[in-house]
Amino acid sequence: MFSSRLRQTAGRNRLADAIDRRRAAGLPIVDLTLSNPTRANVAYPKGLLAPMAQDLSLCYEPEPFGRLPARQAVADDFARRGLPVPAARIILTASTSEAYSMLFKLLCDPGDAVLAPRPSYPLIEHLTDLDGVRVEHYYLEFQGRWQIDLEGLREKARLQRVRAIVMINPNNPTGSVVTDDELAAVVSIAREHDLALISDEVFADYPFSAPPSPGALRQDAALTFALGGLSKTAGLPQAKLGWIAAGGPAELVEGAMERLETICDAYLSVSTPVQVAAPDLLRAGAAIRTQIHARVRDNYRALLRLGSAHPACTVLPVEAGWYAVVQIPSVGSEENIVLDLLEQTGVLVHPGYFFDFEREAFLVLSLLPESRVFLPAAGAVFEQIGARR
């Protein structure tokens, strides 16, 4: 894992240098790694952030878990997804990253470990490092769709000092969704080994072919924490509001909430204005979410059409999220392929090894850019890949 992270860091540095050289030369870059909706020409309603300027925002009344009206608004949003979560079991944080850190502090001592999926967005390793926690990886395997290697997960769960299973559902970047059978198996493993389940569900509102999954909180057999935030649910990363919803056996939840109260009281990191505005932002977020959802689905359909016309590129199935994975011929290292694409076409994409794919060669494309930008850029990538064969 250490050598993999060194390679990722070196690769990101080389890619950053190539980007800087291109910009210095005045050459355009089309960014198909875009993850920031505020840079994607999404039409945000006028006055969207006005609720943050209410007079109530001037009154500081610290609450470890956040203001109750804001927590109730998050509980209502879970109800929209079909999950009746009491506001008393909602904990507000400044971000999903902070939510992870709070939970690592709750569940782990220094040197303990959590299990996390691979491939996935390489955030968990950085966050665990900051909290003195180790990561042990279990794998997602592609067999027509991405699915959890449950036997491998069972083996890792037997390791000493493992305290939690992290599930990214939907996964970034594979776009895979945990099935009911997989969830039941993961919960069974967690119960057997007395592990907590952390379910990162930030992309749950962006399904491609089915209604949103209610998520891990639908079960009550294992201590479970579901994560979300305004960044994806409302397309508002700048608002800096995330949350944790706790579920599972009552006695385990009650004990966890008591300890979390002490942790959260030490930070009190969520700003009052965003808490005051949370009910309005969640309501307004529906219109933003609808735009993003339509765009990423349209871009994915366009990508599938491109794939059918370019046999050198295989667009893997996406079940939810903002990203697509394209398998390409392994005619060189992913890093060189991505650098050549940037030089030859001006299009920036992610190499698969940034996300710890077990083998090469894969490209990861964001589906978030405007369609008028996305389609010609993706087409240029596919044409260039075909020409390399």
First to last CA, the chain: 31
Q: Phi/psi of residue 363, each to 5°?
A: -120, 145
Please answer whether residues 250 and 79 qualify as being in contact, where contact means their C-beta atoms are separated by less than 8 angstroms.
Answer: no
Label residue 387 by pLDDT band (50, 70, 90): confident
Residue 278 corresponds to which tokens in the numbers above? 């949370």
DSSP string spanning 289-314? HHHHHHHHHHHHHHHHHHHHH-TT-E
Q: What is the mean pLDDT of the chain?
A: 95
Q: Give residue-wise pLDDT tens across range 30-64.
A: 999 999 999 999 999 999 999 999 999 999 999 99
Mean pLDDT of 156-169: 97
Pairing assessment for the beta strands 146-148 and 314-315 based on DSSP bridges? unpaired
- CATH architecture assigned to 56-285: 3-Layer(aba) Sandwich (3.40)
Label residue 209 by pLDDT band (50, 70, 90): confident
User: pLDDT: is 65 or 5 the higher one?
Assistant: 65
Please answer whether residues 230 and 77 qualify as being in contact, where contact means their C-beta atoms are separated by less than 8 angstroms.
Answer: no
Residue 286 confidence (pLDDT) = 94
Query: Measuring CA to CA, which residue among 172, 97, 135, 114 is closest to residue 4?
Result: 135
Residues paired with 365 in a beta bridge: 324
Beta carbons within 8 Å of 309's beta carbon, 6+ residues apart: 382
User: pLDDT: is 387 or 373 the higher one?
Assistant: 373
Percent of the chain with pLDDT over 70: 98
Q: Which CATH class is domain 2-43+290-388?
A: alpha beta
Residue 212 confidence (pLDDT) = 65
Label residue 389 by pLDDT band (50, 70, 90): low
Beta carbons within 8 Å of 191's beta carbon, 6+ residues apart: 221, 222
Indicate the pTM of the whole model. Answer: 0.95
Pick left, alpha or beta for residue 161 (phi over 0 → left; psi -120 to 50 → alpha; otherwise beta): left
Residue 229 confidence (pLDDT) = 98
Domain residue ranges in the chain: 2-43+290-388, 56-285
Mean pLDDT of 247-271: 97
Please answer whether residues 16 and 22 qualify as being in contact, where contact means their C-beta atoms are separated by less than 8 angstroms.
Answer: no
The Cα–Cα gap between 349 and 232 comes to 21
Label residue 72 by pLDDT band (50, 70, 90): very high
